[in-house]
Structure 1
Amino acid sequence: MNTSVAQKVQVPDIAAQVTYAMRVMGIAPIPRNYELFYEAYIGSNPKLTREIAALGNRASQEELDAIGRQYFGHHHRAEAIDGAHTKMVAQLEGLLHLLKQEQTSLESYNRILDETYSRISNKNTTSTEIIRSAIDVLSDATGDSISQGRNMVENVTQTSLEMAVVRRELDEYKRIAHTDSLTQLSNRRAFDDKLAAIYDNAMLLNVTALVLADIDHFKKINDTYGHPVGDKILASVGSIIRASLRKDIFIARTGGEEFAMIIEGNSQDEVMTIAERVRIALEHTPFKNSKTGVNYGPITISIGLCMAADAEAPAELYSKADIALYCAKNAGRNRTMAYEDGMKKEFSKSWLIYRK
């Protein structure tokens, strides 16, 4: 192992530290909790760090959510989704109730028709009585049905409008819940869903690839210039990746300085070309503060990729793409590598060698 790699092993990994702390404290591993502990760990907001520390070793979800609402405007979109879901359920129950009323009304009307038919069929009843009785009964029954039908139409129409509003709210909440607030790309939750769906269609596995990209030496950037600058660089990198790819390619920020792309409809050689286009675009982009003249660059990324056909399941696909990414880091960074079977021997996951 070379000296630079050995030094990297000693550097603590933020994600691992945060995950470990949450596990020790019995904190649910959900995105909004991870965000709180991540921000507390890096110390970008000392007040937040103190409040998390003050909770002790066993913080309740209610206590964490209260802090989340205080410090993160986007923090509780999941609660909003739950609220919209409740509204949708209530609207559906109301609609079902209306339909049940209509069913009861129709059943009643059919019963009246049956009774009227019986009277008409009665040979002991005079023609005049038959006609008078039929007219009276049918007039009342039909009038009631028409009135109830109008009310039903109005109620169903109103309910449909209300449900459409709730549906739009749900769609918006889902979009926000699946969007990384910093880069406006998809987030880890959306990525996990997309990754899991890859193996739903075996016919496309030969032309589907997972591409993982990691910013080189990002910890040094944060340590040198501070996390606010690091966040701006992350946002810029996300924009460059998005601008370098066609619109149908799925892109997510999957955590920290790592990004993922799911590319469909291309061979491995074509995916390599696409990934290289992203890497080169970033390498050639200046990162400079226009006001102070400070140059933060060069900013580069290392990329690893694996074709879906080379793995049996989403977890294996991710692991192999990650191995390729590790090999790209270990080979000198700022390069793209596709997974090959021989890489397993080179890779030992003492993971966090390349994470900084």
Structure 2
Amino acid sequence: MNTPIAQKVQAPDIAAQVAYAMRIMGVAPIPRNYELFYEAYIGSSPKLTREVAALGNRATQEELDQIGRQFFGHHHRAEAIDGAHSKLSSQLEGLLQLLRQEQTSLESYNQLLDETYSRIANKNNTSAEIIRGAINVLSTATGDTISQGKEMVETVTQRSREMDVVRRELDEYKRIANTDSLTQLSNRRAFDDRLAAIYDNAMLHNVTALVLADIDHFKKINDTYGHPVGDKILASVGSIIRASVRKDVFIARTGGEEFAMIVEGNNQEEVMTIAERIRTTLEHTPFKNSKTGVNYGPITISLGLCMASEADGPAELYSKADIALYCAKNGGRNRTMPFEDGMKKDFSKSWLIYRK
């Protein structure tokens, strides 16, 4: 059966084609569905493409999630995160209950102290009765309170340990959910959040840049050597990019053979230097099969960048960086282009499609 994925309608932009396919198939525009269709469309796994195409024109969410679990280990981390949130909430509620009990205990202690004071203040009681009654009341109240206090400390300590374990578990789930399994860089989900956060601080716009990078002729690499080789090259490119920049530079694989970097604390000239260092390092890195001697190279990338100060928001910033990338590709590839007014592209990807 012909489906939008199988037909691969010719359009100037992959993101638009994926969105179109999802829309006419009635697929909910949520991140995990987009990732599934994107990877199926670009052909990262022929088996995945066949599985999605076999769903026909009206795939259910259950069917899509089943394929997602099969091909993407991180696909349903959101469920694990929700579970960890629930456990953390439960632990917190238990701790609050203990504190309420302690408050009740202290209120009872105060009542006993009031009673003791009343006996001491009663002029009809003898001194011996006053002292004896006060000692009995205070001994009982203080003993109970100390015992309950020790138990409370031990219980609160135990609950705190349990909450810390759940917190670490939740942090790990979030890390996995935001990590691309192939390159171990951040993924599209993490990139979306980081890109949106750029405009939280207007003071940094002049020294913050978005850099988009795309491996040149990657489809030819996959077609010539196969997807397993393509995957290894993607992982190697990701490692080279990571090793070529400071640790605080945010790097993500945003889909297929495209990477994104958010560089903070540098002006445009400095960002250009960083991008060129990545490009030349990759250009001079040999890509060979150590066993067979097959040379897969040279592997090159094209890069486009835009400063945050040149855009009014994340969507425009993404669009302008993508236009610069397009111009780098159109200008011969293996080069870095900063965005400039006057650059035109008939159809640029919209970052907003990933925010649904």
- TM-score between the two structures when normalised by the length of structure 1: 0.88
Do residues 349 (structure 1) and 347 (structure 2) align?
yes
Q: Aligned equivalents of 1:221 and 1:302: distance in 2?
A: 16
Classify the secondary structure of the residue corresponding to 1:75: coil
Classify the secondary structure of the residue corresponding to 1:252: strand
Q: Percent identity?
A: 84
Q: Is the 2:306–2:321 contact (alpha carbons within 8 Å) kept by the matching residues of 1? A: yes
Does the C-alpha gap of structure 1 residues 141 and 351 become closer, same or farther in structure 2, counting only changes over 3 Å?
closer
Cα deviation, residue 320, structure 1: 1.3
Cα deviation, residue 219, structure 1: 1.8
Cα deviation, residue 85, structure 1: 1.1
Classify the secondary structure of the residue corresponding to 2:149: helix
Matched to 2:346, the amino acid is S
Do residues 244 (structure 1) and 244 (structure 2) align?
yes
Cα deviation, residue 304, structure 1: 0.7
Q: Deviations over 1:297-350 (max 9, x none)?
A: 22111111111111221111111111111111121111111111121xx32216
Cα deviation, residue 90, structure 1: 0.8
Q: Could you tell me which runs of 5 or more consecutive residues in structure 1 were left unpaired when the two chains were aligned.
A: 1-8
Partner in structure 2 of residue 271 of structure 1:
271
Classify the secondary structure of the residue corresponding to 1:236: helix
Partner in structure 2 of residue 258 of structure 1:
258
Partner in structure 1 of residue 312 of structure 2:
312
Partner in structure 1 of residue 61 of structure 2:
61
Partner in structure 1 of residue 284 of structure 2:
284
Q: How many residues align?
A: 342
Does the C-alpha gap of structure 1 residues 233 and 16 become closer, same or farther in structure 2, counting only changes over 3 Å?
farther
Partner in structure 2 of residue 120 of structure 1:
120
Do residues 22 (structure 1) and 22 (structure 2) align?
yes
Q: Could you tell me which runs of 5 or more consecutive residues in structure 2 were left unpaired when the two chains were aligned.
A: 1-8, 351-356
Cα deviation, residue 74, structure 1: 3.2
Counterpart mapping for 1:42-81 below 5 A = 48=48, 51-53=51-53, 55-81=55-81
Q: Aligned equivalents of 1:350 and 1:210: distance in 2?
A: 15
Partner in structure 1 of residue 5 of structure 2:
none
Classify the secondary structure of the residue corresponding to 1:272: helix
Cα deviation, residue 15, structure 1: 4.2
Does the C-alpha gap of structure 1 residues 57 and 117 become closer, same or farther in structure 2, counting only changes over 3 Å?
farther
Q: Deviations over 1:146-178 (max 9, x none)?
A: 111111111101001111111111111111111
Does the C-alpha gap of structure 1 residues 50 and 303 become closer, same or farther in structure 2, counting only changes over 3 Å?
closer
Q: Is the 2:303–2:335 contact (alpha carbons within 8 Å) kept by the matching residues of 1? A: yes
Q: Aligned equivalents of 1:311 and 1:214: distance in 2?
A: 21
Q: Aligned equivalents of 2:313 and 2:242: distance in 1?
A: 27
| Larger CA deviation: 317-326 vs 72-81 | 72-81
Matched to 1:98, the amino acid is L
Cα deviation, residue 10, structure 1: 5.0
Cα deviation, residue 68, structure 1: 2.9
Q: Aligned equivalents of 1:290 and 1:159: distance in 2?
A: 53
Q: Is the 2:279–2:302 contact (alpha carbons within 8 Å) kept by the matching residues of 1? A: yes
Cα deviation, residue 261, structure 1: 0.8
Classify the secondary structure of the residue corresponding to 1:299: coil
Q: Deviations over 1:243-279 (max 9, x none)?
A: 1112121111111111111111111111111100111
Does the C-alpha gap of structure 1 residues 65 and 312 become closer, same or farther in structure 2, counting only changes over 3 Å?
same
Classify the secondary structure of the residue corresponding to 2:295: coil
Does the C-alpha gap of structure 1 residues 315 and 73 become closer, same or farther in structure 2, counting only changes over 3 Å?
closer
Q: Aligned equivalents of 1:270 and 1:12: distance in 2?
A: 32
- TM-score between the two structures when normalised by the length of structure 2: 0.88
Partner in structure 2 of residue 158 of structure 1:
158
Does the C-alpha gap of structure 1 residues 216 and 70 become closer, same or farther in structure 2, counting only changes over 3 Å?
closer
Query: What RMSD over aligned residues (CA atoms) do the two structures have, in Å?
Result: 2.3
Partner in structure 1 of residue 131 of structure 2:
131
